[in-house]
């Protein structure tokens, strides 16, 4: 049984596991709402990242064409088709925003900045999130329709994505500590999402027989995404550190304390060093089984990086809540992504040119 078939066969069990983890987080939230919602946020950022990486790949194909997408489509299309689900999964964060983002519970946190307080306010936060998730959902459903090159869909979908992923990156992640700013964060987040989507495709090993001859294409895409993500991540650190800006340095210093520095070290090893080094030999690049193992490592690395971004503001207990949030969101999402509706989409493979 192939991995996509396994996913479809166990969709119900995955959904129930996700609901059970969500119930545990709900009970935890009665005592510590901030920690519970932080775990939900970490899980949402991680799994939404996979879906948005798949969205970006489908948008690029709609714009440029090519045969590389065909073997990946049975995995990427269900991920993109379930983007509307994330609008519902994001509702708990909106309802409990004051427990997560400090500028919601205390607007004076950003009042000292003449511009920031006009941006970081709850109505604007809700509006931007709604527009982003709705836009991704609409464009995503257009992209999974199949067919040949469609620049009329691909171009606006990519432009919208570039703006929305930057906006959501600032709102959901960076504004956890509103004094830290990074102009490259949205691009780095987008590349991490691409890497996660490619790793997801590698793990699920779509259509093993037909995929075997195309494994090299996926491997090269993974290497390129890993190189881009590590470059932008390091450039962000380098510019902030050597700029000698206290607010930016403080953000990194908090993440250099234990256990966060260990998390990021393992994350870099799994999501950057592993795919770049392991995929250099041709025999590895052409092996779907090797790609599946490497893809699994990359996904763990991206997840740890997500926890490294979100967790330090809430302390070490955020690691446990992030684990529960990942199981909760992942179980619900994969249960739906493997369902009958997504299964039908998997057969609508687009033409290459």
SS3 242: helix
Q: What gap in Å lies between CA 257 and CA 267, rounded to an integer?
A: 15
Q: Provide the whole-model pTM.
A: 0.89
- Residue 213 burial (10 A CB sphere; 0-12, 13-18, 19+): exposed
Q: What gap in Å lies between CA 234 and CA 50, rounded to an integer?
A: 22
Q: What gap in Å lies between CA 94 and CA 75, rounded to an integer?
A: 30
Q: For residue range 16-62, what is the model confidence (pLDDT) as tens digits?
A: 888 999 999 999 989 889 899 999 999 999 999 999 999 999 999 88
Of residues 65 and 188, the one with the higher pLDDT is 188
Which residues does 117 contact at the CB level (< 8 Å), separation at least 6? Answer: 103, 107, 110, 111
Compute the mean pLDDT over every residue in the chain, rounded to the nearest whole number.
84
Q: Do the beta carbons of residue 41 and residue 186 sit within 8 Å? A: no
Q: Do the beta carbons of residue 15 and residue 85 sit within 8 Å? A: no
Instruction: Say what the pLDDT of residue 323 is.
Output: 93
Q: What gap in Å lies between CA 89 and CA 140, rounded to an integer?
A: 17
Q: For the chain, what are the domain ranges?
A: 3-342
Here the tokens at position 21 are 């983890």
pLDDT at 245 over 90: no
């Amino acid at each position: 049984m192939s991995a996509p078939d396994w996913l479809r066969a166990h969709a119900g069990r995955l959904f129930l596991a996700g609901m059970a983890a969500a119930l545990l987080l709900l009970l935890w939230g009665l005592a510590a709402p901030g920690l519970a919602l932080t775990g939900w946020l970490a899980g949402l950022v991680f799994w939404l990242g996979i879906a948005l990486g798949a969205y970006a790949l489908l948008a690029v194909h709609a714009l440029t064409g090519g045969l590389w997408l065909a073997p990946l489509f049975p995995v990427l299309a269900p991920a993109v088709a379930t983007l509307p689900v994330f609008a519902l999964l994001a509702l708990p964060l909106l309802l409990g925003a004051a427990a997560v983002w400090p500028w919601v519970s205390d607007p004076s946190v950003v009042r000292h900045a003449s511009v920031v307080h006009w941006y970081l306010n709850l109505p604007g936060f809700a509006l931007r999130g709604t527009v982003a998730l709705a836009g991704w959902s609409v464009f995503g459903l257009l992209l999974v329709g199949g067919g040949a090159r469609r620049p009329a869909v691909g171009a606006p979908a990519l432009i919208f994505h570039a703006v929305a992923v930057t906006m959501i990156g600032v709102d959901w992640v960076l504004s956890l500590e509103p004094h830290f700013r990074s102009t490259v964060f949205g691009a780095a987040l987008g590349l991490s999402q691409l890497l996660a989507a490619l790793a997801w495709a590698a793990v699920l090993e779509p259509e093993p027989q037909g995929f075997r001859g195309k494994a090299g294409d996926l491997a090269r895409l993974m290497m390129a995404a890993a190189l881009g993500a590590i470059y932008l991540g390091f450039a962000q650190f380098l510019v902030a550190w050597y700029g000698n800006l206290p607010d930016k340095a403080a953000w990194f210093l908090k993440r250099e304390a234990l256990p966060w520095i260990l998390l990021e070290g393992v994350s870099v090893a799994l999501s950057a060093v592993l795919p770049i080094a392991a995929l250099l030999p041709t025999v590895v690049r052409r092996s779907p089984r090797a790609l599946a193992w490497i893809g699994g490592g990359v996904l763990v690395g991206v997840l740890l990086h997500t926890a490294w971004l979100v967790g330090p503001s809430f302390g070490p207990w955020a690691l446990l809540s992030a684990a529960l949030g990942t199981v909760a969101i992942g179980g619900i999402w994969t249960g739906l992504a493997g369902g009958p509706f997504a299964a039908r989409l998997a057969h609508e493979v687009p033409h290459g040119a």
